[in-house]
Amino acid sequence: MVKFFHQTFNFDFPWVDQLTGKLHLVRLLLKTNSVPRWGRSFMRGNSTAYILEEIEVDPVNKIFKTTTKNITHTRLLKVVECQTLKACPDDAANRTIGYNETRIISNLGYGLSSRIESFSLTRFHDNITKSRNGLLYVLEVLREKQQLFKGQRMLA
């Protein structure tokens, strides 16, 4: 059986910047991905990582930007991912352009930094590909439901 949780609450904080009209949101996330065996000794038994996510939505120009970066284990590996989604200038009604830039930096030293960065880049590439495919699947399901809903409204 599926269980749901729902809650509504108010923040005494304006999320929309009054000068720019942009929506800003900052979240702190806890990531618990598995760590390769060789990396566990560097983590000192703590494989969880805190991730800071900053989101900016520009409703006027239809631009959505996120920046995520780990704030723990940064000596071993620092990952900063910037992603921008915006309407396609040639077909804004039907297409969205996604741009992703990720910086992966290891300051561990001992001649291991380059190997850690290479391993992490490969793992990141594999995960971002899976993530993008998952998003495309969700978008396709939403598109099908929208078409079904439009068809039902026309029949009514």
d(CA 21, CA 17): 5
**What is the pTM assigned to this prediction?**
0.77
Q: Are 65 and 82 in contact (CB under 8 A)?
A: yes
Coarse DSSP helix, strand, coil percentages of the chain, rounded to the nearest 5 percent: 30, 30, 35
Contacts of 16 (CB under 8 A, 6+ apart): 22, 23, 24
d(CA 65, CA 27): 14
pLDDT at 9: 85
The Cβ-side half-sphere exposure at 121, using a 13 Å CA radius, reads 12
The count of other CB atoms within 10 Å of the CB of residue 77 is 20
Helix, strand, or coil (residue 144): helix
14-69: pLDDT as tens digits: 878 889 999 999 999 998 877 777 777 777 767 788 999 999 999 999 999 999 99
Instruction: Please state the domain extents for the chain.
Output: 23-155
pLDDT at 1 exceeding the cut of 80: no
Share of the chain above pLDDT 90, in %: 46
